[in-house]
């Protein structure tokens, strides 16, 4: 008998034994999931302005930087953020809108770069799939404009453009929107990499980017 | 009991309580996390509803565990993952070792995982000349110091900055190193970076397995997880069979409750969700090892099976008045605190950890904070019953002083007349022990434990029942 058979049989036998002792539970085929109470709040009735303000507050609370732009001034905002830190050589994913890229900087498509090559960039610029206001989270997937996961991981600086229409209030709303692309590699990012392992003091940037900045594009 | 006396909780606890530095560190760390947790839980208006939903989902999974595991296996395989089954620790270690030998790996990078700790993975690999590098900062501190983790979420909370500075300087061969948290973190970043870039195999645990999509979820803070999950060519995730959840959307509950309960954050910095292999992004070979190692047997006990609902947040440890005094080491188990006190003895069929169900004041704080509503006090009492019944099954246990005493007590408490007689006898019997202070300061034999740390008030000259009887006949 394989380990698989052993384990499955053990689960079935022990569940049956427990049932004999305690009486049967609801079956999965008989609408089992309907018996799971989902009374928790799934949405929040916020105005767009309140949602944006909450998102910004939570980003800052976890030490992410925030800048504002309109959909047609993204390139200016990008230039502003990079210039403030004197960054010039920036990795970008394939499919990033060309109109986001200001002149005077070196943007190089880096989807195929290995980690050692990625390490030579001063930063990375990406889009995102969506953002969550209540937790200050951006969600990136392996998709055009966002690139493979290592792209937003290895460079020490991550600049991410978020449109206001991409921001949802709650975590449950995020999962409704993500359902269609659930099997893409997905990363939830909430503030820069951090640890509290040493005397419970929060320190920024262990292995991921030490700086995370968000450009909020407001239409 | 088959375990040596030195391994039982009271003895181990007495030893660690001598370490005042450890006690200060544990108290500080648990206080900080508790306060942060309370703040972000208070922000969450439907917290109790989230606990109910989390509990219901986990309970539902356990009742149909075989079906959800098969569904996960099928979906993960379809997405290019390879699923292995391990009945016990030896199975899991053998499967992993075969994979590593096939890839000729001499050094692997690892994400902190209780499950790999449980199966003694690092020791098993070391015996075959393969080094497993821990990449979580706290685990790195533990590994370099050849130490034991003391907490599920912050394993090195018993070490302070100066101790870590000395350790890093010695083990990383650094000429000088500051002792701020920033200095120490930067040293770890430097030390591990090349290891991430050169390792061909990474090993992780798993926070959740999603049956519907075949996806695996890792929740972390530092980015070492993302490094391990995306840079090496081969990834092996080892997960307890109970880690499965039915659907992708069920994550919306746990991604609200787990970060708040574990580290007191609205969301931890990084959550990774991946499904099989994805061309051009991440490992091109992915294995999941599903580990039983005593879990399926826990399902047999309808009262105790709720133990397997646990999502390993560690919130119960931070509020436990016993854990807050002793830290994790006294439990002599990978799983410490209230959850360890119920999980460890069950995983080992009471062969180990039989003293742990007694390491509790039954105050109920662990249940109050549990994000999946495991009624830990109820399970503790249930397991105490099993420990006693197991002792009664042996001749020495049956004829032992404790059992005879308890049997006698049971006979006395069923009747008022017997109780009155016992009280009269007790008043006579206690006389030689009552000191001039009016208290019993030392009792002999099996009763000595009671008076070791406190004085005992003697039985009063008149019992409540006697007083009551007199009062009602003479109005």
Between B221, B227, B275, which is nearest A153 by CB? B227
Smallest Cα distance from B255 to chain A, Å: 8
Per the CB < 8 Å rule, is B256 touching A171? yes
User: How many percent of chain B have pLDDT more than 70?
Assistant: 97
Is A188's Cβ below 8 Å from some Cβ in B? yes
Residue B239's contacts (CB-CB under 8 Å, 6 or more residues apart) are: B115, B205, B206, B209, B216, B288, B289, B290, B291
Query: Between chains, do B226 and A149 touch, taking CB under 8 Å as contact?
Result: yes
Q: What is the pLDDT of residue B423?
A: 92
Give the model's pLDDT for residue A26.
52
Strand bridging mode A211-217 / A203-204: unpaired
ipTM above 0.90, yes or no: yes
Smallest Cβ–Cβ distance between B189 and the set A150, A182, A207 belongs to A207
Q: How does pLDDT run across B59-95, given as a tens digit for each residue? A: 999 999 999 999 999 999 999 999 999 999 999 999 9
Q: Which of B29, B67, B305 minimises the CB distance to A200?
A: B29
pLDDT band at A28 (very low <50, low <70, confident <90, very high): very low
Q: Which of B302, B400, B409, B307 is nearest to B356 (CA)?
A: B307
In chain B, which among 163-192 make CB contacts under 8 A with chain A?
164, 181-182, 184-185, 188-189, 192
| For residue A29, pLDDT beyond 70 | no
CA distances from A117 to A175, B16, B279 (A): 34, 48, 19
Q: Which domains does chain A have, with CATH numbers?
A: 48-192+204-217 (3.40.50.10420)
Give the count of Cβ contacts less than 8 A between chain A and B. 261
Side-chain half-sphere CA neighbours of B16 within 13 A: 26
User: Across the interface, which of B79, B230, B282 has its CB nearest the CB of A183?
Assistant: B79
Kindly list the residues from chain A whose CB atom is less than 8 angstroms away from the CB atom of residue B253: 40
For the beta sheet containing A211-217, the strands, ordered from the edge strand earlier in sequence to the opposite edge, are: A65-69, A211-217, A157-163, A123-126, A89-92, A106-109
Q: For strand B215-220 and strand B208-210, is the pairing parallel, antiparallel, or unpaired?
A: antiparallel
Give B444's contacts (C-beta < 8 A, 6+ positions apart): none
pLDDT at B21 over 90: no
Find the closest chain A residue to B164 by CA distance: A198
Of the partner residues A135, A175, A200, the one whose CB lies closest to the CB of residue B249: A175
Provide the chain A residues 71-100 that lie in CB contact (below 8 A) with chain B.
none
Largest distance between two CA atoms of chain B: 92
| B393's tokens | 């099954």
Whether the CB-CB separation of A117 and A100 falls below 8 Å is answered with no
Instruction: Sketch out chain B's domains with CATH numbers.
Output: 1-38+317-393 (no CATH), 44-293 (3.40.50.10420), 400-473 (no CATH)
Per residue in B190-235, pLDDT tens?
A: 999 999 999 999 999 999 999 999 999 999 999 999 999 999 999 9
Please name the residue of chain B whose CA is at the shortest distance from the CA of residue A116.
B197
- Whether B1 has a pLDDT exceeding 70, the answer reads no
When mean pLDDT is compared across A131-140, B140-149, B246-255, the lowest value belongs to B140-149
Q: Does the pLDDT value for residue B4 go beyond 70?
A: no
Residue B7 clears pLDDT 80, i.e. is over it:
no
A146 touches chain B (CB under 8 A): no
B430–A contact, CB cutoff 8 A? no
How many CA atoms does the CB half-sphere of B215 hold within 13 Å?
25
Residue A208: left (phi > 0), alpha (psi -120 to 50), or beta? beta
Q: What is the pLDDT of residues B403-428, one digit of tens each?
A: 998 899 999 999 999 999 999 999 99
Alpha-carbon gap, residue A177 to B380, rounded angstroms: 42
Radius of gyration, CA atoms only, chain B: 26
């Amino acid at each position: 008998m394989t380990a698989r058979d052993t384990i499955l049989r053990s689960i079935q036998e022990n569940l049956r034994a427990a049932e004999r002792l305690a009486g049967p539970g609801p079956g999965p085929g008989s609408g089992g999931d309907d018996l799971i109470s989902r009374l928790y709040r799934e949405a929040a009735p916020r105005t767009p302005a309140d949602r944006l303000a909450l998102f910004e507050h939570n980003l800052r609370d976890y030490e992410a930087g925030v800048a504002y732009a309109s959909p047609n001034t993204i390139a200016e905002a990008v230039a502003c953020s990079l210039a403030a830190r004197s960054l010039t050589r920036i990795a970008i994913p394939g499919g990033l809108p060309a109109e986001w890229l200001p002149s005077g900087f070196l943007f190089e498509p880096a989807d195929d770069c290995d980690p050692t090559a990625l390490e030579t960039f001063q930063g990375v610029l990406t889009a995102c799939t969506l953002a969550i206001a209540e937790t200050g989270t951006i969600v990136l997937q392996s998709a055009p404009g966002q690139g493979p996961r290592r792209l937003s991981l290895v460079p020490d600086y991550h600049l991410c453009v978020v449109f206001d229409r991409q921001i949802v209030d709650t975590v449950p709303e995020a999962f409704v929107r993500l359902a269609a692309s659930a099997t893409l590699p997905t990363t939830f990012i909430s503030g820069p990499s951090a640890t509290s392992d040493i005397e419970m003091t929060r320190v920024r940037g262990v292995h991921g980017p030490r700086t995370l900045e968000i450009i909020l594009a407001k239409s | 009991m088959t375990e040596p006396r030195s391994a039982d909780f009271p003895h181990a606890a007495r030893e660690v309580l001598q370490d005042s530095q450890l006690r200060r560190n544990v108290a500080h760390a648990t206080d900080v996390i508790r306060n942060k947790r309370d703040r972000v839980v208070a922000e969450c208006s439907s917290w109790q509803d989230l606990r109910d939903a989390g509990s219901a989902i986990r309970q539902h999974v356990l009742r149909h565990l075989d079906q959800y595991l098969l569904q996960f296996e099928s979906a993960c395989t379809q997405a290019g993952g390879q699923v292995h089954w391990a009945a016990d620790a030896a199975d899991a270690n053998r499967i992993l070792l075969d994979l590593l030998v096939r890839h000729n790996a001499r050094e692997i990078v690892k994400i902190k995982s209780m499950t790999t700790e449980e199966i003694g993975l690092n020791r098993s690999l070391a015996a075959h000349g393969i080094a497993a590098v821990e990449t979580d900062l706290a685990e790195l501190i533990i590994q370099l110091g050849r130490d034991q983790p003391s907490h599920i979420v912050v394993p090195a909370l018993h070490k302070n900055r100066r101790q870590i500075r000395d350790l890093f300087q010695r083990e990383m061969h650094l000429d000088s190193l500051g002792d701020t948290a920033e200095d120490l973190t930067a040293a770890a970043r430097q030390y591990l970076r090349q290891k991430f870039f050169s390792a061909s195999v990474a090993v992780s645990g798993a926070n959740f397995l999603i049956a519907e999509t075949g996806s695996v979820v890792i929740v972390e803070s530092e980015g070492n997880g993302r490094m391990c999950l995306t840079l090496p060519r081969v990834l092996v995730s080892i997960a307890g069979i109970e880690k499965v959840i039915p659907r992708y959307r069920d994550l919306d509950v746990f991604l609200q409750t787990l970060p708040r309960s574990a580290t007191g954050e609205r969301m931890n910095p990084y959550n990774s969700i991946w499904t099989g292999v994805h061309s051009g992004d991440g490992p091109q070979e992915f294995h999941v090892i599903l580990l039983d190692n005593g879990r399926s047997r826990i399902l047999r006990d309808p009262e105790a099976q709720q133990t397997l609902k646990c999502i390993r947040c560690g919130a119960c440890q931070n509020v436990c008045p016993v854990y807050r005094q002793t830290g994790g080491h006294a439990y002599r188990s990978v799983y410490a605190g209230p959850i360890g006190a119920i999980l460890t003895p069950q995983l080992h069929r009471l062969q180990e950890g039989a003293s742990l169900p007694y390491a509790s004041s039954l105050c109920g704080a662990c249940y109050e904070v549990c994000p999946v509503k495991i009624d830990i006090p109820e399970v503790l009492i249930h397991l105490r019953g099993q420990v006693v019944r197991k002792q009664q099954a042996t001749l020495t246990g049956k004829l032992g002083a404790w059992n005879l005493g308890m049997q006698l007590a049971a006979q006395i408490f069923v009747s008022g007349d017997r109780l009155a007689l016992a009280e009269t006898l007790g008043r006579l019997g206690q006389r030689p022990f009552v000191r001039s202070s009016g208290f019993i300061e030392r009792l002999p034999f099996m009763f000595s434990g009671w008076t070791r740390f406190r004085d005992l008030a003697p039985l009063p000259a008149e019992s409540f029942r006697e007083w009551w009887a007199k009062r009602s006949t003479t109005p």
